[in-house]
Structure 1
Amino acid sequence: MSTPSSENPASPPLRTRASAPEMLSRNLALVGLIALFLLCLAWELWLAPTGRGTLGVKALPLLIPIVGLWRYRLYTFRWLSLMIWLYVAEGAVRATSDRGPSVPLAWAELALSGLIFTACALHVRQRLAAAKQA
């Protein structure tokens, strides 16, 4: 079986290894995403549930990008950096309007969302710069 670079000599060779900064930004985004998922679940089901805990459903969309981040899919990093703003908005609203144990949980959600956005944005910039150099 031939590789795409052998079929077309003008196409650049495929990269097989990610650089250390790319791996770091991917790992930060992945760990932050898993931590945000666990925080959202724990918040709505055990720590400070609202109603019957039905808001725990808000954590389910965070499961979708985990596989894409694990496989270094650039498209996943791009759309996750946009989707995470929903969690930033929710954290900002609840940090300023709720009372009790929800306030520190909302600040933690804001911090994790900021970490995920920063890691995704850095990863996209690094990947595009590496593609431009290749």
Structure 2
Amino acid sequence: MTAETACYRTLLATWTAQFALLMLWYLWVAPPPESLRAPVLVLLIAPWLLPLRGLLRRRRYTVAWSSLLVLAYFIHAVLAAAGPAPGRWLGLAELVITLTYFTAAMGFVRLGRYRGTAAG
């Protein structure tokens, strides 16, 4: 397995883990009030679904801009990790996932450039 393939598999695994964590967090572990559940899910889950098609097709441009999208989730993780107890552990898990995603995304894009297929 090449380093590029390892980065790509890590990228997909962390994308899936982030999606699962957000779904579990806001639907089961610490759900918001019923009136806020739909807006919270739309604001937190919908943006995460945007790069899915490009990620599955291994498009480097999509991976590059999704690495910028993950920074918003990084900020969310830092704020949750600094908060009260139920969200603290979830925030730390999200922090690890977002940092791993960002690292894998940068590795995937950079390794593709060395192969001769630049992003863009």
Write out the 4+ residue segments of structure 1 that deviate beyond 3 Å after TM superposition.
none
* Residue 41 of structure 1: how far off its partner (Å): 1.1
- State the match for 2:71 in structure 1: 85
Q: How does 1:1-134 map to 2 (within 5 A)?
A: 20-52=2-34, 53-54=37-38, 55-57=40-42, 58-96=44-82, 98-131=83-116
Q: Secondary structure at the match of 1:101?
A: helix
Could you tell me the percent identity over the aligned residues?
A: 31
CA contact (8 A) 1:30 1:66 kept: no
Tell me the secondary structure at the aligned position of residue 117 of structure 1. Answer: helix
Where 1:128 maps in the other structure, the secondary structure is: helix
Tell me, which stretches of 5 or more residues in structure 2 are unaligned?
A: none
TM-score normalised by the chain length of structure 1: 0.78
Bigger radius of gyration among the two: 1
RMSD over equivalenced CA pairs, Å: 1.5
Conserved? CA contact 1:36–1:113, under 8 Å: yes
Tell me which protein shows more helix as a share of its residues.
Answer: 2
Q: Deviations over 1:49-96 (max 9, x none)?
A: 232334222112212212211111011111011110000001101111
Partner Cα distance (2:50, 2:6) in 1: 21
Q: Any conservation in 2 of the 1:95–1:102 contact (CA below 8 Å)?
A: yes
Structure 1 gaps of 5+ residues are 1-18
Q: Distance in 2 between matches of 1:36 and 1:84?
A: 10
